[in-house]
């Protein structure tokens, strides 16, 4: 038996919708109204009266016919909505599916829109013959109903996804574009939501729309507002783009409805965000028909802070004016008072010698009017939070979004507007990438605005390139351009680098196989997109004696992965061992900290923490959070994002043990070494566990030291090449450096100094004295006293 659902057209109106859409009908209806009016005008002339009357009747009746059809449509639409069924699904499947369901759904109004927004409509169209054949081969209708489970509430995206079981070709197309069930469902509900919103807006006669109008004479019972309007304005109750703020609006509404202290302190990320929020609140109030609701009939008055300070002459004048405005607003009787930009309010008051916070507090003692104060996060942490009396009066409402879902919702609300402005179309996947990127690549604050900026900027770029469709690649390349962080498709060069990371690292680091393999693996995980997004790209603790290549490995990593020009952020953690260590890193008393500043300046690259074990316990705790969540809050409460960094901490802890193990299998003894470090209280186990890898660096054996020397001399000869001097690297020289430049305690570290002291020094002398000329070839030989002599060849 065939799945009943496909036969059961919910109502013929949804079939009508797919053949003769609502938008078209609306236009036609309007056209007939205009024709009727024109005919009415023409009927003024007696010569044409008869014909005109005829036309009025014809056009008028057609207009009436369309009006009835629309009334029918709205009624059915409403019913479907009330029953929580999906209009998109119903209208996409109703009708004769003479070429199969996939064909039918793809050609329907909603179906084609969905495929278009996902960027797969062309692929589906070009493979349609194959899809239709496959579906016919499935043939038997009962098999079909086995595969496709659908009811009237099924989301159109989910329907599309289950249809992919019927046709392998269709499935391939979805897979090729990495279209997931979640994406299909989300995109479909977004499109349906937009459609419903549009229809609801058209229905001017609906209760919801009618009662939104400001009633005539509603203010007559209240005072006049002329004086008030000199210092600010009433927020219109137009309701735009505030859908993603519903949570915050609910909270503010609750606070403002309290019988005592109806004061809300809205901590916003930015001004535009908080303004949208307040507009949303105004919209909500205007929709409140419950006469007993505390905010019924109220209007929001927003004090324009900068304007107020332009008007007042001095501190006294400011105090008098401000309390006057507040009093006036209270006298009016239906005002919710809002102060925008409270930071400016406090600062300007201060410049006039007035304590703005105290002034507000003293006014609140004698007032009972609902009040909203808009402040930024910075100010809140800096001043307001510490002000006990003020924080007693106010209830704080945070507006920052932390989750991707509501950010995506916010973006979806604004897409059409941006599309209209720039004449481009965003693929649905693009919106997801924008939400993800805003969260990942930019500081934790002002996420909504960052996302909106990205939306607008990418639209600008695509328009400038004469493109029409914004793809995920457009977004990713914009982000790469803005941040320098490689995103998007991995290109050939980078692919090469990632696949050969081990050998590339080995070109600069001798030995240390375990370390290099772990690092390479972690980086490949991150770049392939399977790494965790809410953590740093990678985090490693390098343990081992001095001079075995810990810092060298870190440098090599930074050069290879982030480019040679990218400077490392380097901290000597022994400087942060005191009680003030933490404060210096994250800041205190309004000054930002060294770590916070360094990361803000360059939030992408390698962070090297030398001698990590020497940092204080508080600093270790800070890194506990950083390694876990990828961010920390500085002293002003602002987020500092380390999710695009590789964190390398180095430590000598356990090096005595490592040295004693030279020649043995170090990896076998790794648990012992780590246990020893823990039992000595150098690192706590939870800290060690947070690192992606605790990596042991072995002492170098003679052969490895020889290779290190070769590397160093190669580097030196590169530098000498610029001066036109060639150095001959002989076994004798290598042997000399090996015996004089290394020891068990400092590994290969003394080598650098030895090369500088002996070889570089001697060549420099020769160059200055003129003994060595450009084009010369030099070598070093040991004299009888055992010292090195330079010899020109």
Partner 1 sequence: MNSITAQYIAWHYKDGYKDLKNFCKTILSFVVYFFSVKTLLQTFFQPWRRIMERGQKGKMFSILQGFVVTTLMRIIGVIIRIIMLVVALVALIISCVIALVSLIVWPLLPILLVLIFIDGVLHFV
Closest to partner 1 by CB, 48 vs 309, is 48
CB 263 within 8 A of CB 395: yes
Helix (H) or strand (E) holding 674: helix 670-679
Closer to partner 1 at the Cβ: 205 or 785? 205
In angstroms, the Cα distances linking 285 to 195, 239, 309, 371, 540 are 25, 11, 29, 14, 53
Is residue 76 a contact point for partner 1 (CB under 8 A)? yes
Residue 60 sits in the site that holds partner 1 (CB under 8 A) = yes
Cβ proximity to partner 1, 32 vs 110, nearer residue: 32
CA distances to 50, 444, 642, 719 from 534, in Å: 77, 11, 9, 42
Question: Two tokens at 153?
Answer: 């509430």
The piece of 190-198, 209-217, 405-413, 534-542 that touches partner 1 (CB under 8 A) is 209-217
Q: Please report whether residue 204 would count as binding partner 1 according to CB under 8 A.
A: no
Q: Which of residues 220-249 bind partner 1 (CB under 8 A)?
A: 220-224
Considering only residues 11-30, where is the footprint of partner 1 by CB under 8 A? 11-13, 15-16
Chosen residue from 215, 259, 529, 786 binding partner 1 by CB under 8 A:
215
Write down how long the chain is: 793
Whichever of 16 and 519 has its CB closer to partner 1, that residue is: 16
Pick between residue 55 and residue 120 the one whose CB is nearest to partner 1: 55
Question: Minimum CB separation from partner 1 for residue 228, in Å?
Answer: 13
Angle between helices 492-499 and 513-527 (to 10 degrees): 150
**In the bound complex, what is the minimum distance in angstroms from residue 450's beta carbon to partner 1?**
42
Measured from the CB atom, is 53 or 710 closer to partner 1? 53
Contacting residue, 8, 21, 51, 392, with partner 1 by CB under 8 A: 51
> Residue for token digits 């299909």?
184
Q: Does the protein bind partner 1 through residue 324 (CB under 8 A)?
A: no
Pairing of strands 639-641, 788-792: unpaired
Instruction: Supply the minimum distance, in Å, between the C-beta of residue 292 and partner 1.
Output: 13
DSSP 48: G
Phi and psi torsions of 566, nearest 5° = -70, 115
Nearer to partner 1, 222 or 746 (CB): 222
For residue 61, the minimal CB distance to partner 1 (Å) is: 4
Q: Would you tell me the crossing angle of helices 181-202 and 428-441 to the nearest 10 degrees? A: 110
Identify the DSSP state of 491.
Answer: P
Q: Which is nearer to partner 1, 65 or 353 (CB)?
A: 65
Candidates 58, 361, 716, 729: give the one binding partner 1 (CB under 8 A): 58
Closest Cα partner for 759 from 707, 705, 714?
714
Taking CB under 8 A as the binding criterion, the range among 330-338, 389-397, 446-454, 657-665 that sits at the site for partner 1 is: 330-338
Of positions 129, 213, 513, 660, contacts partner 1 by CB under 8 A? 213
Q: Check residue 488 for interaction with partner 1 (CB under 8 A).
A: no
The least CB distance from residue 217 to partner 1, in Å, is: 4
Instruction: Select from 8-16, 126-134, 260-268, 760-768 the region that touches partner 1 (CB under 8 A).
Output: 8-16
CA 22 from chain center: how many Å? 37
SS3 content of the chain, % helix, strand, coil (to 5): 60, 10, 30
User: What are 192's two structure tokens?
Assistant: 């349906």
Cα 9 to Cα 571: distance, rounded to the nearest angstrom: 69
Query: Which one of residues 2, 8, 27, 75 is an interface residue with partner 1 (CB under 8 A)?
Result: 75
Q: Distance between CA atoms of 377 and 399, rounded to whole angstroms? A: 10
Q: Rule CB under 8 A: say whether 476 interacts with partner 1.
A: no
77: tokens are 């639409």
- Tracing tokens 């390349």 back to the chain, one arrives at 477
Angle of helix 501-508 relative to helix 550-562, nearest 10 degrees, comes to 130
320 part of the interface to partner 1, by CB under 8 A: no
Q: Is residue 8 within the footprint of partner 1 (CB under 8 A)?
A: no
**Site size toward partner 1, by CB under 8 A:** 45
Strands 232-234 and 335-339: unpaired
Verify binding: residue 121, partner 1, rule CB under 8 A. Answer: no
Near partner 1 by CB under 8 A, which window of 9-17, 322-330, 410-418, 476-484? 9-17
Q: How far apart are CA 492 and CA 487, in angstroms?
A: 13
Q: Is 724 in the site for partner 1 (CB under 8 A)?
A: no
Among 62, 688, 734, 767, binds partner 1 (CB under 8 A): 62
Distance CA 142, CA 164 (A): 16
Q: What is the secondary structure of 54-89 as a DSSP string?
A: HHHHHHHHHHHHHHHHHHHHHHHHHHHHHTT--HHH
Q: Which is nearer to partner 1, 60 or 486 (CB)?
A: 60
Q: Which residues are near partner 1 by CB under 8 A? A: 11-13, 15-16, 50-51, 53-62, 64-65, 68-69, 71-72, 75-76, 79, 205, 207, 210-211, 213, 215-218, 220-224, 291, 297, 331-333
């Amino acid at each position: 038996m065939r799945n009943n659902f496909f036969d059961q057209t919910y109502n013929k109106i949804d079939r009508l919708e797919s053949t003769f859409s609502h938008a078209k009908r609306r236009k036609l209806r309007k056209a007939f109204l205009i024709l009727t009016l024109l005919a009415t005008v023409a009927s003024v002339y007696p010569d044409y009266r008869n014909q005109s009357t005829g036309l009025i009747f014809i056009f008028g009746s057609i207009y009436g016919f369309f009006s009835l059809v629309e009334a029918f449509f709205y009624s059915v639409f409403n019913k479907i909505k009330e029953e929580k069924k999906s209009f998109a699904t119903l209208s996409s499947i109703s009708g004769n599916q003479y070429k199969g369901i996939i064909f039918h759904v793809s050609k329907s109004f909603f179906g084609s829109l969905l495929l278009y927004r996902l960027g797969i409509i062309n692929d589906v169209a070009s493979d349609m013959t194959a899809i239709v054949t496959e579906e016919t081969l499935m043939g038997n209708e009962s098999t079909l109903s086995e595969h496709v489970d659908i009811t009237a509430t099924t989301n159109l995206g989910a329907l599309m996804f289950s249809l992919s079981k019927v046709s392998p070709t269709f499935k391939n197309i979805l897979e090729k574009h990495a279209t997931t069930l979640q994406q299909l469902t989300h995109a479909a509900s977004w499109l349906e939501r937009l459609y419903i919103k549009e229809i609801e807006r058209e229905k001017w006669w609906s209760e919801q729309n009618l009662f939104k109008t400001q009633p005539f004479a509603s203010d007559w019972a209240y005072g006049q507002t002329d004086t008030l309007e000199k210092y600010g304005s009433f927020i219109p109750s137009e309701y735009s783009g505030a859908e993603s703020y519903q949570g915050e609006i609910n909270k503010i509404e609750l606070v403002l409805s309290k019988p005592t202290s109806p004061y809300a302190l809205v901590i916003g990320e930015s001004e535009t965000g908080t303004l949208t929020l307040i507009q949303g609140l105004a919209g909500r109030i205007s929709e409140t028909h419950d006469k007993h609701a505390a905010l019924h009939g109220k209007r929001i008055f927003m004090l324009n802070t900068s304007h107020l300070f332009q008007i007042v002459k001095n501190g006294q004048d400011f105090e008098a004016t401000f309390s006057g405005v507040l009093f006036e607003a209270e006298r009016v009787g239906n005002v919710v008072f809002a102060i925008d930009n409270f930071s400016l309010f406090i600062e300007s008051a201060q410049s006039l010698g007035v304590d703005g916070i105290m002034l507000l507090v003293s006014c609140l003692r004698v007032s009972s009017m609902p009040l909203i104060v808009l402040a930024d996060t910075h100010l809140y942490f800096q001043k307001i939070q510490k002000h006990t009396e003020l924080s007693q009066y106010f209830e704080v409402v945070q507006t920052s979004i932390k989750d991707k879902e509501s950010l995506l919702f916010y973006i979806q609300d604004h897409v059409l507007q941006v599309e209209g402005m720039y004449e481009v179309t965003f693929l649905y996947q693009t919106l997801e990438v924008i939400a993800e990127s805003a969260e990942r690549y930019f500081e934790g604050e002002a996420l909504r605005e960052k996302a909106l900026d990205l939306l607008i900027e990418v639209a600008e770029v695509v328009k400038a390139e004469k493109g029409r469709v914004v793809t995920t690649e457009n977004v990713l390349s914009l982000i790469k351009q803005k941040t320098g962080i490689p995103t998007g498709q991995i290109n050939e060069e980078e692919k090469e680098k990632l696949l050969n990371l081990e050998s590339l690292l080995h070109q600069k680091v001798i030995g240390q196989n375990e370390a290099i393999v772990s690092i390479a693996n972690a980086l490949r995980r991150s770049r392939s997109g399977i790494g965790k997004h809410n953590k740093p790209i990678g985090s490693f603790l390098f343990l081992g004696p001095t001079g075995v290549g810990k810092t060298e490995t870190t440098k090599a990593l930074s050069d290879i992965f982030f480019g040679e020009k990218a400077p490392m952020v380097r901290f000597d953690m022994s400087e942060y061992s005191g009680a003030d260590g933490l404060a210096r890193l994250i800041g205190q008393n309004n000054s930002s900290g060294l770590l916070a500043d360094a990361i803000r300046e360059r939030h992408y690259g390698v962070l090297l923490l030398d001698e990590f074990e020497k940092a204080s316990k508080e600093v270790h705790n800070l890194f506990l959070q950083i390694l876990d969540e990828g961010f920390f809050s500085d002293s002003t409460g602002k987020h500092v994002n380390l999710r695009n960094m590789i964190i390398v901490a180095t430590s000598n802890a356990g090096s005595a043990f490592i040295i004693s193990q030279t020649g043995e299998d170090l990896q076998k003894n790794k648990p012992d070494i780590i246990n020893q470090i823990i039992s000595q209280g150098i690192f706590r186990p939870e800290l060690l566990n947070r690192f992606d890898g605790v990596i042991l660096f072995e002492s170098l054996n003679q052969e490895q030291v020889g290779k290190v020397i070769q590397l160093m001399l190669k580097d030196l000869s590169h530098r000498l090449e610029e001066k036109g001097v060639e150095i001959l690297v002989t076994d004798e020289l290598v042997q000399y450096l090996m015996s004089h430049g290394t020891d068990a305690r400092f590994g290969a570290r003394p080598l650098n100094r030895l090369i500088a002291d002996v070889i570089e020094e001697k060549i420099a002398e020769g160059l200055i004295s003129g003994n060595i000329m450009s084009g010369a070839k030099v070598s070093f030989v040991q004299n009888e006293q055992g010292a090195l002599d330079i010899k020109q060849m």
